[in-house]
Structure formats: structure tokens, C-alpha cells
């Protein structure tokens, strides 16, 4: 059990409206990721769901029950924060047990739950250590363990990996994906990291200035972004946008082409230009081409590709991979 419904949720801080009427239905067992630029309201919306922030209008419903008037502890949720929020004077075990003790869960049940969560997250060896004696990744696993033992109907994650270095971030991301598979739990997860959103989510919610721009499966957003905002936000490197005559030739106000959907050739392509800069990442090569008709275009090639600044090149978009947008920025029918 763990469905979540948001109905017309608004949140103002004084005169500033941080959440501008959000409607969203999340099914039991779904992994939903909120993404969007800094300040778009991701954390505020998550905190409203948790009950840490009181919303100004609308309803939050968990498992069919309106929880607007309930404090966080009574909502059947568990939250994992970016900063771990562990109690420094308690051991890892103490941190995991605390909420259960406060709820009056029986000792034998507490032990069983901590043992199971520890096995799941490979925490067995760490239980007697205090937070100061743990690495950042270990602390976050304890914080996740503390959420797991509560057996909530809904897990809320607020940028749980942002304080970890790149390698640990990948490992912990895989842990969270595995945990979701094992527990079949409902998870709402906030991140500004595209890779996390694309790899973890069943559905991604793209937020912008307190409103939803699009909700969909990761590949749906990548293949058919509903508007210019989503097109520019999902995908890295960013989609190329072309306006003017070069877009009008395709019947669009703005034409979008992803860097991986541009073909580079010596001559005979759609647009002619000159290579201005090349970046070798090992796995990929990014080539920046100055094209008089379109402006600079980014091209993504494989890691072995050779290109040199100053080279005259010709570019063609892959025919069925073009994104056309109208004057209002909305996607035009394919
Ligand atoms: P980030 O990715 O930078 O964490 P976010 O999308 O999570 O951003 P929020 O933290 O939800 O953004 O903030 C949304 C907006 O609400 C921001 O403009 C922020 O300045 C504003 N805001 C958040 N909390 C408060 C508050 N307590 N008082 C006034 N304004 C606030």
C-alpha cells in the first residue's frame, strides 16, 4: 500500500507562490522522480507531501486518506535527506531503532526489522559505530536503513546522493534501485541529476517555476518532449535549438536536434560549418560546429571519432529524430 494523490496543491511563502497548483497521481509501488532547475519547487513539494511544510491550498492523499491535517509522524512516510540527519550521539543501530522505540514497537520486532534491513543494505558490520565513525556513503546507507525499518507506505528521498563522490553515487544509486525492486515500495525522489532520474524512475515529473511541465516515462520524455522546456532539460549534452529559416524549412518555429542525432560528413549534408572546438571524453567525443544558418551546433560522436578545430564539415539531422515546436513552445505533431 502506498498510493499518493496530489489535488490542486499550492504553496505560498508570503506573496511568493512556490507551488502553483499541482495535480499528480502516483500508483502503489511506483518510483517517481521530481526533476527541475534549482528553485523550481522540488523540495517544497516533497516537504508538503511529508507534512514538513503546510500547503496553502489543495489536498494530499496517501492510500486514499486525506492527510492534510496529520503531522509527519502519522502519515505513514519515511524520509531520507541529503544531509543524512543522523543523531551523532547514537550508534547506527540506535539511529535505526529510535523511531520504532518511540512508536512502541516490541523489542523482538525491532531486532527483526533492523537485522533484515541491515542484511539488505550490507550494514551488519557498521551497526555499533557512531555517524562520525562512518563514511558519507555508509551514513547514507544507515539513513536509508532507518527509513526501511519503519516499513512506511511511502518513501521520500530528497537528493540523497548529492553529498557523495561520483563513485559512491553510482553504487548507492544501484542500491536504491535494488531496494525498490526488493521492497516493491512507492518512492518519490527529488534530484537535479539527470542520470539518477533517467535510471531510477518509472515516471519523471519535470517541474518548472512551481508547475508541472510534463510527466512521463524517462524514454518518453527523451523521445517526445512536450515543449521546449522539457526538450532542453532532459538529455545531455543539451538538445540543439534552431530558429529562423533553417527551422521554417521544417515547418517549425523552433527545431530541436539532439547532439547524438546529427551526422557529420565532409560534404553534401544539410548545413555547412566549421569545427570550433572538440572535447574528448573517452567514451564520447563532443564536436562544436559553427554553422552560419543555425548558430553553433553540438554533435555527439563515439570516442574514437577524430575531428579537428578549423575543419570544414557538413551536418545532417537524422530524419525521424527531429523535434518541431510552434511559436508557443509546444511540440508540433510528428
Ligand atoms: P534546489 O534544487 O535548489 O534545492 P528546489 O527545486 O528544491 O531547488 P525549493 O527548495 O522547493 O526548490 O524552493 C522553491 C522556491 O521556494 C525557491 O524560489 C525558494 O527560494 C522558495 N522557498 C523555499 N523555502 C522557502 C521559505 N521557507 N521561505 C521563502 N521562500 C522559500
**Fold match between 4-229 and 238-325?**
no
Does residue 24 have its Cβ closer than 6 Å to ligand 1?
no
| ipTM metric | 0.96
Write out the DSSP string of 270-300.
Answer: SEEEEEEEEEE-SSEEEEEEEETTTEEEEEE
Contacts of 249 (CB under 8 A, 6+ apart): none
pLDDT in tens, the chain (334 residues): 799 999 999 999 999 999 999 999 999 999 999 999 999 999 999 999 999 999 999 999 999 999 999 999 899 999 998 888 899 999 999 999 999 999 999 999 999 999 999 988 889 999 999 999 998 889 989 999 999 999 998 999 999 998 888 888 898 899 899 999 998 999 999 999 999 999 999 999 999 999 999 999 999 999 999 999 999 999 999 999 999 999 999 999 999 999 999 999 888 999 999 999 999 999 999 999 999 999 999 999 998 888 899 999 999 999 899 999 999 999 998 8
Q: What is the pTM of this model?
A: 0.93
Question: In the CATH scheme, what is the code of domain 238-325?
Answer: 2.40.50.140
Residue of 38, 40, 81, 162 to mutate, ligand 1, most atoms within 8 A of C-beta = 40
Contact predicate 125/147, CB 8 Å: no
Q: Return the domain boundaries, the chain.
A: 4-229, 238-325
Which fold is adopted by the domain 4-229? Rossmann fold (3.40.50)
Q: Which of 18, 34, 42 to mutate to test the pocket of ligand 1 (most atoms within 8 A of CB)?
A: 18
Amino acid at each position: 500500500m502506498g498510493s499518493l494523490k496530489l489535488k490542486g496543491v499550492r504553496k505560498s511563502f508570503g506573496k511568493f507562490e512556490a507551488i502553483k497548483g499541482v495535480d499528480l497521481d502516483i500508483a502503489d509501488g511506483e518510483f517517481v522522480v521530481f526533476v527541475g532547475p534549482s528553485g523550481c519547487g522540488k523540495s517544497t513539494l516533497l516537504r508538503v507531501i511529508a507534512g514538513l511544510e503546510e500547503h496553502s491550498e489543495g489536498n494530499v492523499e496517501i492510500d486514499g486518506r486525506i492527510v492534510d491535517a496529520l503531522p509527519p509522524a502519522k502519515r505513514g512516510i519515511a524520509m531520507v535527506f541529503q544531509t543524512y540527519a543522523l543523531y551523532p550521539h547514537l550508534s547506527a543501530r540506535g539511529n535505526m531503532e529510535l523511531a520504532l522505540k518511540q512508536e512502541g514497537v516490541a523489542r523482538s520486532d525491532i531486532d527483526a526489522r533492523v537485522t533484515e534491513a541491515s542484511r539488505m543494505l550490507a550494514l551488519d558490520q557498521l551497526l555499533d559505530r557512531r555517524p562520525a565513525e562512518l563514511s558519507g556513503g555508509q551514513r547514507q546507507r544507515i539513513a536509508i536503513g532507518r527509513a526501511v525499518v519503519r516499513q512506511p507506505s511511502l518513501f521520500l528521498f530528497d537528493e540523497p546522493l548529492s553529498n557523495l563522490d561520483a563513485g559512491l553515487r553510482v553504487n548507492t544509486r544501484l542500491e536504491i534501485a535494488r531496494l525498490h525492486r526488493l521492497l516493491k515500495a512507492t518512492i518519490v525522489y527529488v534530484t537535479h541529476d539527470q542520470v539518477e532520474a533517467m535510471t531510477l524512475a518509472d515516471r519523471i515529473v519535470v517541474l518548472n517555476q512551481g508547475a508541472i511541465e510534463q510527466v512521463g516515462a524517462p524514454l518518453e520524455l527523451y523521445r517526445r518532449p512536450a515543449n521546449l522546456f522539457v526538450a532542453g532539460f532532459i538529455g545531455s549534452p543539451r538538445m540543439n535549438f534552431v530558429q529562423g529559416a533553417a527551422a521554417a524549412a521544417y515547418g517549425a518555429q523552433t527545431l530541436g536536434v539532439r547532439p547524438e542525432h546529427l551526422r557529420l560528413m565532409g560534404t553534401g549534408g544539410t548545413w555547412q560549418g566549421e569545427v570550433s572546438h572538440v572535447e574528448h571524453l573517452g567514451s564520447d567525443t563532443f564536436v562544436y560546429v559553427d554553422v552560419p544558418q543555425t548558430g553553433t551546433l553540438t554533435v555527439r560522436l563515439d570516442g574514437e571519432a577524430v575531428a579537428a578545430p578549423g575543419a570544414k564539415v557538413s551536418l545532417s539531422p537524422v530524419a525521424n529524430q527531429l523535434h518541431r515546436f510552434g511559436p508557443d513552445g509546444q511540440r508540433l505533431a510528428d
